[in-house]
Every structure is written in structure tokens, then in C-alpha cells.
Amino acid sequence: MSVGVIRVVLPAHLRTLAQVSSSEVQVEVMGPVTQRSVLDALEARYPTLQGTIRDHVSQQRRAFVRFFACEQDLSHESPDAPLPDAVVSGAEPFLVVGAIAGGAI
Amino acid sequence: MSKVRVLVGTRKGAFILESDGKRQKWDVSGPHFAGWEMYHIKGSPVDSNRLYASQSSGWFGQLMQRSNDGGKTWEPVDNKFLYDGVPGTHQWYDGKPHPWEFKRVWHLEPSLTDPDTVYAGVEDAALFRTTDGGKTWNELPGLRGHGSGSRWQPGAGGMGLHTILLDRSDPGRMYIAISAAGAFRTDDGGTTWKPINRGLKSQYIPDPDAEVGHCVHRIAMHPSRPSVLFMQKHWDVMRTDDAGEQWREISGNLPTDFGFVIDVHAHEPETVYVVPIKSDSEHFPLEGKLRVYRSKTGGDEWEPLTKGLPQSDCYVDVLRAAMAIDSLDSCGVYFGTTGGQVYASSDSGDSWNPIVRDLPAVLSVEVQTLA
């Protein structure tokens, strides 16, 4: 089975939680590269991120977290849909983004 | 020389305020967990360096933190709060059944005997416990399952279990309170529970004998007299002398009986503190004057405490978890406001000074008295 190295960009609060200094981390993903497989690999490497991006039980994306890659909003894509080739090849990162608050807080 | 450590949770981080026993000069550290909502931070009564903190955000959910060095450093611990079995439903705002959904941890109550055991009150209301220092959390399902859970309903602020009181004289006895379900007691360590709301009257509940549905804001206890409880309800300040079997109103001459905080003097079990708040809707001090009210008679007769507190143009709120009492000989009283001030009194409330003035909105205040 193929192993890909996927670049993931995390928002500041999650970088602090994962104790990483750079905005980007790299995770190894075996098999198909999807939102689910990337996030599974991310949480395996950084267990403190469990529950912060996806709900512990439903594994659904938390409402105010968005996923982007290649200038596309992938937040509403199936978690099992293949990510763009540029993410799979490592040319582009997969971005985990905190939704804007609209000035509310 | 004695010391005190004040643990402040705010909308945008945690702050730790430390002073010697004189409580005049303070060291301020923080923000810890900058940008996160810190609903509650509390220390173990048997290991003052062991702290637990509830860290949450609308974006990234719930995290739990533990410190073994009095808040200098922290480590994340387990943040999985899974309801026991099939969660079932409670009432929603429209009166229809709504599934229980975990939202956040409101209150942490470390055990009186074991630094690794902590109780956690959560929204949607349930009681959890860790016995391994936060590595795992498990629900005590008897509370939601005792029979009335399907009739509990959230208030405007959510359905949070916000108060946990442990009885020093009886390890099996514990009290909790939920907005807007009411107060409950267990006598067997959390296995079984009973509502203790007899005597509470709420204008919006037509049934005067309603078992649940009361919007209890806070309950306080003096450790030496654990069957006497004081309650700040949405409206009414209440008291029970028989562990909640019957409550009676002690609002007396308060200018308004609405408020959130209530606490008891460390050495005088009949001395009680509240902060009356104008309501409905406004939720700030009456007439722009920030006044703590003290009763030295266990209620009914109250005196305003104003020295050092703003007496004009003050429109902050004091939220339910934002008052604490130290146990030094000259009892200290502390409270935080939504305007970011934390006030301290080192003379039982006779006079006050701001420790800090410009924190984010204060959600909770706890104090540790250190030898």
C-alpha cells in the first residue's frame, strides 16, 4: 500500500495545543488520501487534537472548523472523497481553518 | 507566612493572582490558554499544586488541562466526555424531546481526599468523574437516569451542571445544581439521586410543587455545617437547614433578590454574601452601584458593602462561579466581573480593592489558601 506524506496547515490554537512551532505539519497517510485518512493520521500523531477538529462520537467536522485545499472549500465534501492530486503529491497543503467569527467575539 | 492563589477563568484565558497573607500586593500571571474560554479552574484540597482547568472554544470544543506545579506548567488530559449508554433526550426550548449533546465542562470539583479524583459538571447537564487524574472521564449516570431527566430543560444560558458541593463529614453525600432543572442530592456517592427543590417557587412554573424546572444559579455551603445550604436562585435567595428537604426564602431586605453568586464566610457559618443584580433582562447592578450584600444572620437581614467598589456608572455583571472565599484568619472574599475586574477584600467584605481591572470578562474565581 502506498504511503503519502501530506502537508497540513493548522490554525494557531491547534498548533499551540499540538506543541508545534511551524504553521505546517506533515503526516504519513497509508492508502487513499481523504479528509478522514488525513485527519486520522493527524490525530494519531498529535493525540491532543482529538475532538478539536471532529466530534469525538460522530467524527463529523466541528461546525466552526473549515477545510480548504487548492483554493477550494472542501468543508462540505464527503470525508471519504479523494483529496486533490496536488495535496496527495505534497505540492499543496490541506488547510484546517477556524471559521471567521464575523466580529462577534 | 500564608499565601493565597486566586484562579481566574475568563472569556479569553486563565489568570493566576498570588499574594502573601496581607493580600495587598499581587503577582499576576497569564493569560494561560490565551484566547480560550476558561469556565473553571480549581485546585485539589489535598495537593495545592494540583490544578484542573476547563478550556473550551466554540471552534475547537472542549479541552481539559492539569497542572502539577500550581499553574506554572500545564498538560492536556482526556477531553472525551461520552454519556453513558444511549444518551436519550431532555426537553428542548419548544418542549419537544432533544438528544443530550455534550457542549462543555462548566464546573470542576476535586475530591476532598484524592488529588486524582475530580467531579465535572457539564452541559448538557450530567456529572462525570475521573479517578486517574484526568486520563479518563466517566459519567455517573444515576443523575440523568433518576427519572426526571427527560423533563429537564435548558435556560437561556444552556443546560449546565454548574455547582458541585462535597460533604466533608459524609463521603457519600454530594449536592449538585443545574440550570434550569434545580438542585439534587446523592447520599451514596453518586449512584442514586433525588431532586431537592421543595419550597422553591418560580413564577414561570405553574405547579407550586414542581419537582424540577427551577433555575438555580448557585448553592453554597459552610464545610462545618454541611446540611445547611444557601441558594441564589434566578429570583429569591433561599436556605435549607435539612440538606435540601425543605427550602425557605431569606431574601429579606435585599434591593432585588435576583443574582448569580452566593458564598459563605470561612469562619462564620451564618455570614453569607450575594451580589444583587437588576433583572429581568438588564443583568447589571442596581443604579450603577456595585454592592456586595452580607448577612450575618444567615439571611433575611442584609447590609450593603460598598467601600472600595464603584458607586456610580457601573454596569458589569457578576456571574455564578465568580465569587470565592479564602480561609485565612481574616477571611478574604473575592469576586470577578464581566468588566474584567477582580475585587478582593481581606476583611470579610468591609472594604475592597481591585487586584486587576482589565481582564477579559470573568467567568469564574477560585482561591487557594496556601500554608
pLDDT for A14-32, tens place per residue?
Answer: 999 999 999 899 999 999 9
Asked if A56 lies within 8 A of B82 by C-beta distance, the reply is yes
Minimal CA separation from B31 to chain A, in Å: 14
Q: What residue in A sits closest to B87 (Cα-Cα)? A: A57
ipTM above 0.95, yes or no: no
Q: Does A20 touch chain B (CB under 8 A)?
A: no
Asked if A48 lies within 8 A of B76 by C-beta distance, the reply is yes
Does residue A86 belong to any structural domain of this protein? yes
CA distance B209 to B118: 33
Minimal CA separation from A1 to chain B, in Å: 32
The pLDDT value given to residue B157: 85
Number of CB pairs, chain A paired with chain B, less than 8 A apart = 41
Asked if A52 lies within 8 A of B58 by C-beta distance, the reply is no
Q: Does A59 touch chain B (CB under 8 A)?
A: no
Q: How many CA atoms lie within 13 A of A45 on its CB side?
A: 17
CA distance B116 to B82: 19
For residue range A75-94, what is the model confidence (pLDDT) as tens digits? 999 999 999 999 999 999 99
Lowest-confidence region among A43-47, A100-104, B169-173, B256-260: A100-104
A13: nearest CB among B35, B80, B82: B35
pLDDT band at B128 (very low <50, low <70, confident <90, very high): very high
Minimal CA separation from B338 to chain A, in Å: 14
Does residue A104 belong to any structural domain of this protein? no
Domain that holds residue A12: 3-98
Residue B344, C-beta contacts closer than 8 angstroms, at least 6 positions apart: B6, B23, B332, B333, B334, B352, B353, B354, B355
A62: nearest CB among B35, B61, B80: B61
Residues of chain B above pLDDT 70, percent: 100
Residues of A in contact with B36 (CB under 8 A): 13
Q: What residue in B sits closest to A13 (Cα-Cα)? A: B35
Check whether domain B34-311 has CATH 2.40.70.10, yes or no: no
Asked if A98 lies within 8 A of B36 by C-beta distance, the reply is no
Residues of A in contact with B57 (CB under 8 A): 13
pLDDT band at A72 (very low <50, low <70, confident <90, very high): very high
Does residue A105 belong to any structural domain of this protein? no
Report yes or no: B112 and B166 within 8 Å, Cβ to Cβ.
Answer: yes
Does residue A103 belong to any structural domain of this protein? no
Does residue A39 belong to any structural domain of this protein? yes
For residue range B91-123, what is the model confidence (pLDDT) as tens digits? 998 889 999 999 999 999 999 999 999 999 999
For residue range B310-369, what is the model confidence (pLDDT) as tens digits? 999 999 999 999 999 999 999 999 999 999 999 999 999 999 999 999 999 999 999 999
CA distance B292 to B311: 11
Query: Can you give the residue ranges of every domain in chain B?
Result: 34-311
Q: What residue in B sits closest to A12 (Cα-Cα)? A: B35
Number of domains in chain A: 1
Minimal CA separation from B60 to chain A, in Å: 4
Choose among B113, B32, B37: nearest CA to B67. Answer: B32
Q: What residue in B sits closest to A98 (Cα-Cα)? A: B59
Q: What residue in A sits closest to B83 (Cα-Cα)? A: A57
Mutate to test the interface with B, among A14, A16, A52, A55 (most CBs of B within 10 A): A52
Asked if B60 lies within 8 A of A98 by C-beta distance, the reply is yes
Mean pLDDT of chain A: 94
Asked if A13 lies within 8 A of B82 by C-beta distance, the reply is no
Q: What residue in A sits closest to B82 (Cα-Cα)? A: A57
Report yes or no: B338 and B283 within 8 Å, Cβ to Cβ.
Answer: no
- Cα dist. B343→B16, B32, B355 in Å? 14, 20, 6
CA distance B280 to B270: 29
What average pLDDT score do residues B208-219 get? 91
Q: What residue in B sits closest to A46 (Cα-Cα)? A: B76
- Cα dist. A48→B56, B61, B166 in Å? 13, 12, 31
Residue B366, C-beta contacts closer than 8 angstroms, at least 6 positions apart: B6, B7, B40, B41, B42, B43, B324
The pLDDT value given to residue A104: 66
The pLDDT value given to residue B146: 84
The CATH number linked to A36 is: 3.10.20.30
Asked if A48 lies within 8 A of B63 by C-beta distance, the reply is yes
pLDDT band at A100 (very low <50, low <70, confident <90, very high): confident
For residue range B282-315, what is the model confidence (pLDDT) as tens digits? 999 999 999 999 999 999 999 999 999 999 999 9
Asked if A62 lies within 8 A of B80 by C-beta distance, the reply is no
Q: Does A70 touch chain B (CB under 8 A)?
A: no
Which residues of B have a CB under 8 Å from any CB of A? 11, 35-36, 57-63, 76, 79-80, 82
Does residue A75 belong to any structural domain of this protein? yes
Residues in chain A: 105
Mean pLDDT of chain B: 96
The pLDDT value given to residue B354: 98
